[in-house]
A and B are shown apart, each in its own frame.
Chain A
Amino acid sequence: MTTESPAVPAPPAAPALAGARRAARGRRSSHVVGKGVVNLVLLLIAACFVVPLLWVVLAAFDESAGLSVSWPQPWSLGNFEAVLNTDTTYRPMLNGFILCGGATIITIAASVLAAYPLSRYQSRYKRPFMLTILFTTGLPITAIMVPVYGMFVQVDLIDTYLGTILFMATTSLPISIWLTKNFMDAVPIELEEAAWTDGASPMQALRRIVLPLMWPGMSVVAIYTFIHLWGNFFVPFILLLSNDNLPASVSIFTFFSQYGQVVYGQLAAYSVIYSLPALLLYLVLSRRLGGAFAFGGAVKG
Chain B
Amino acid sequence: MSTLTVGPGRGGTRRAPAPVALMRGLPLAPAVFLLGAFLAWPVVYCVWAAFTDMALTGASGADFVGFENFTRAFTSAEFHQSVFLTVVFTVLSAIIGQNVLGMVLALLMRSGHRVVRAVVSAIVIGAWVLPEVVAGYLWMALLGDGGSLNEMLGAVGLPPQNWLYTAPILAVSIANVWRGTAFSMLVYSAALSEVPKEIEEAATVDGAGPARRLFSVTLPMVRRSIATNLMLITLQTLSVFGLIWTMTRGGPSNQSATLPIYAYVQAFQFSDLGYGTALALVLLLIGGVFSLIYLRALRLGESMT
Contact = CB atoms under 8 A, between A and B. Distances in A.
Q: Do A and B associate with each other?
A: yes
Interface of A: 1, 34-35, 38-39, 41-43, 45-46, 49-56, 59, 66-69, 106, 109-111, 113-114, 116-118, 120-125, 127, 130-131, 134-151, 166-167, 169-171, 173-174, 177, 185, 189, 192-193, 196-197, 202-203, 227, 230-234, 237-238, 249, 252-253, 264, 267-268, 271, 274-275, 278-279, 282, 286, 291-293, 295, 298-301
B283 interface: yes
A301 B6 contact: no
A41 B113 CA distance: 12
A140 to B, nearest CB: 3
B73 interface: no
Given A43-B120, A45-B105, A113-B27, A52 B142 contact: yes
B91 interface: no
B267 interface: yes
Q: Do most interface residues of chain A lie in helix, strand or loop, or is the interface mixed? A: helix
Contacts of A42: 105, 108-109, 112, 116-117, 120
B300 interface: yes
A233 B287 contact: no
Interface residues of B, number: 117
B288 to A, nearest CB: 6
B112 A38 contact: yes
Contact of B34 (A148, A166, A253): A166
Contacts of A301: 224-229, 297-298
B165 to A, nearest CB: 14
Contacts of B242: 232-234, 237, 249
B7 A189 contact: yes
A279 B129 contact: yes
A227 B5 CA distance: 38
B150 A169 contact: no
Interface string B281-305: 1011011101110110110100011
Nearest to A192: B6
A295 B49 CA distance: 36
A144 B27 contact: no
B169 interface: no
A114 B24 contact: no
Contacts of B137: 56, 252, 267-268, 271
Contacts of B35: 136, 170, 173-174
A99 to B, nearest CB: 13
B113 A35 contact: yes
A67 B127 CA distance: 19
Contacts of B283: 140, 142-143
Given A123-B25, A138-B290, A299-B225, 6 more contacts: A56-B137, A109-B30, A144-B39, A144-B280, A147-B45, A301-B224
B131 A274 contact: yes
Given A52-B139, A122-B13, A144 B34 contact: no
Interface stretch (B74-82, B195-203, B211-219, B233-241): B233-241
Given A43-B120, A46-B119, A53 B125 contact: no
A50 B241 CA distance: 23
Given A117-B25, A227-B129, A293-B190, A136 B39 contact: yes
A102 B176 CA distance: 29
B111 to A, nearest CB: 5
A38 to B, nearest CB: 5
B271 to A, nearest CB: 12
A147 B48 CA distance: 10
A193 B9 CA distance: 14
Given A51-B148, A143-B281, A144-B284, A271 B108 contact: no
B39 A52 contact: no
Contacts of A131: 295, 300
- Between B27, B147, B178, B288, the greatest number of chain A beta carbons within 10 A of the residue's beta carbon is seen for B27
A99 B129 CA distance: 19
Which are the 5 A-B pairs with shortest beta-carbon distances? Answer: A138-B291, A301-B224, A140-B239, A233-B242, A231-B131
A251 to B, nearest CB: 10
A231 B130 contact: yes
A301 B190 CA distance: 11
Given A142-B283, A144-B280, A252-B133, A38 B108 contact: yes
Nearest to A112: B27
A95 B4 CA distance: 46
B276 A253 contact: no
Contacts of A232: 132, 242
B123 A50 contact: yes
Interface string B3-35: 011111010010110000100111111111011
Interface string B228-257: 110110010011111001100000000000
B189 to A, nearest CB: 7
14 contacts: A41-B108, A46-B124, A56-B134, A66-B146, A143-B283, A146-B268, A166-B38, A170-B38, A173-B31, A232-B132, A286-B125, A292-B190, A299-B187, A301-B226
